């Protein structure tokens, strides 16, 4: 009868509002939990039958509740002082694994998805958050480049482990040779004394070596300046010659002082190790390849010829001697770099960003982490800033997505609804009592 259905509807209302109260309680309890995504309860009416239209028969169906975690609504970012406090500026998740999974370095560690994390090295060098989840990434090659890994599989991901006592060096691969040669040095009667200097580089063992650079002017017998110099390169430690080049400089308005041509003095014209497109001379020192930038035709930078004084306007190289690890940090592209006390950085891992078609379909696990489910769809590993995902942000954590004001307002509404459903049950009970009293 309809009175019985009224009581059942009231009981269903109590259950539904109790569920809503549970989600509100969870949200409020986690209002200070970094990376927390709030839970939400929705109500849906149940229709068990309304009788024949116009006859006034109606049976209450009640209500049922369903809960969902709103994973795609993130909290705001706050700055911190830890370089490995990591957040995302947009869509996506950080790949992490369990404490047991961190022991697996063969690409079989289970994948969990984290919204943010304060990661620090443990006693074994694993980069873990406070809950014990270990950050995962793609390991870099020795030169810091990232190999190609599958994007729809965890086969290439490894738990990030960094040896805190490691030392490393950076062998030189590029030298920028920026000097100014005196234009007056190629005038008739000028001194034939060469300009000479040494350029340091670091070999494949991280040891310093030098290249002796000798620049000899071409002195004409009479007339205008030759604007020509011969540059000789020699390995200082071994005495091996590394090349001889004839540099011709432009004397036209606008491009005066810049390189006009570079000729390999030991090879036919048009050959040699100078590349006009890059402005570099390719040097081979044993097994080590070094690109030495001397300048491009008609462009400023590198070697120039101006005025009457010789000056090294900018000589740099990208190598460094052996240094100890002093810190690690993550850049916007997801590269995890080691920082050494010699002042250089080396990429050790790249942390991809995980994305799924339906983030709200992910399964929640402890520690503000999620697992891929049938409802979420398959995952894909993106580079930070590519596709739909955001960039990686170091020195930052993501606040809880809980809105305290909204939750407290919902708490009041839930309390009133629960009391009202209890009143329905009380009223139905009184009506049953009146029905029983008819027999008396």
Tell me the per-residue pLDDT of 295-316, one tens digit each, with 9 for 90 and over.
Answer: 999 998 899 999 999 998 789 9
Looking at the predicted structure, is the pLDDT value of residue 405 above 80? yes
Looking at beta carbons, which pairs linking 344-347 to residues 24 or more positions away fall under 8 Å?
344/170, 344/320, 346/144, 346/168, 346/170, 347/140, 347/144, 347/145, 347/146
What mean pLDDT is reported for the chain? 91
The pTM for the full model equals 0.78
With a CB cutoff of 8 Å and minimum separation 6, the contacts of 315 are 175, 176, 177, 178, 179, 199
Looking at the predicted structure, is the pLDDT value of residue 51 above 80? no
Looking at the predicted structure, is the pLDDT value of residue 166 above 90? no
Tens digits of per-residue pLDDT, 90-146?
999 999 999 999 988 888 899 999 999 999 999 999 999 999 999 999 999 988 899
pLDDT at position 6: 86
- The C-alpha atoms of residue 285 and residue 319 are separated, in whole angstroms, by 14
pLDDT at position 55: 62
HEC profile of 66-135:
EEEECCCCCCCEEECCCCCEEEECCECEEEEECCCHHHCCCCCCCCEEECCEECEECCCCEEECCCCCEE
pLDDT at position 270: 54
pLDDT at position 268: 67
The DSSP 8-state label assigned to residue 357 in this structure reads S
Tens digits of per-residue pLDDT, 264-277?
988 766 556 899 99
pLDDT band at 406 (very low <50, low <70, confident <90, very high): very high
Tens digits of per-residue pLDDT, 360-404?
999 999 999 999 999 999 999 999 999 999 999 999 999 999 999
Question: Which tops the pLDDT comparison, 54 or 220?
Answer: 220
Residues in a beta bridge with 78? 397
């Amino acid at each position: 009868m309809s009175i019985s259905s009224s009581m059942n509807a009231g009981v269903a209302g109590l259950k539904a509002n109790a569920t809503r109260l549970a989600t509100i309680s969870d949200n409020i309890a986690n209002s200070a939990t970094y990376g927390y995504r709030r839970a939400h309860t929705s109500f849906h009416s149940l229709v068990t039958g309304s009788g024949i239209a116009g006859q006034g028969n109606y049976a209450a169906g009640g209500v049922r509740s369903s809960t969902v975690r709103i994973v795609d609504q993130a909290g705001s970012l706050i700055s911190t002082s830890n370089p490995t406090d990591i957040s995302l500026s947009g869509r996506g998740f950080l790949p992490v694994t369990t404490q047991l999974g961190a022991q697996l370095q063969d690409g079989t560690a289970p994948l969990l998805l984290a919204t943010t994390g304060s990661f620090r090295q443990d006693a074994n060098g694993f980069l873990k958050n406070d809950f014990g989840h270990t950050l995962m990434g793609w390991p870099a090659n020795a030169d810091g480049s990232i190999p190609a890994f599958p994007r729809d599989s965890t086969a290439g991901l490894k738990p990030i482990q960094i040896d805190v006592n490691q030392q490393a060096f950076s062998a030189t691969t590029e030298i920028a040779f920026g000097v100014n040669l005196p234009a007056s040095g190629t005038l008739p009667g000028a001194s034939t004394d060469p300009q000479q200097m040494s350029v340091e580089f670091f070999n494949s063992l991280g040891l310093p070596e030098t290249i002796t650079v000798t620049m000899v002017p071409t002195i004409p017998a009479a007339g205008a300046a030759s604007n020509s110099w011969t540059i000789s390169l020699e390995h200082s430690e071994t005495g091996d010659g590394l090349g001889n080049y004839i540099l011709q400089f432009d004397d036209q308005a606008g491009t005066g002082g810049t390189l006009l041509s570079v000729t390999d003095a030991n090879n036919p014209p048009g050959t040699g190790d100078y590349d006009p497109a890059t402005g570099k001379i390719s040097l081979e020192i044993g097994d080590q390849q070094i690109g030495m930038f001397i300048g491009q035709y008609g462009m400023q930078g590198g070697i120039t010829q101006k005025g009457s004084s010789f000056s090294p306007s900018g000589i740099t190289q990208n190598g460094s001697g052996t240094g100890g690890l002093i810190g690690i940090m993550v850049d916007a592209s997801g590269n995890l770099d080691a920082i050494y006390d010699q002042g250089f950085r080396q990429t050790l891992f790249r942390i991809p960003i995980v994305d799924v078609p339906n983030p709200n379909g992910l399964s929640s696990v402890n520690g503000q982490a999620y697992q891929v489910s049938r409802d979420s769809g398959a995952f894909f590993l993106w580079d930070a800033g590519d596709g739909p995902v955001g960039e990686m942000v170091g020195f930052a954590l993501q606040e809880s997505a809980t809105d305290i004001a909204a939750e407290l307002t919902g708490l009041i509404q839930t309390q009133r609804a629960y009391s009202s459903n209890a009143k329905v049950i009380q009223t139905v009970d009184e009506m049953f009592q009146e029905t029983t009293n008819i027999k008396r």
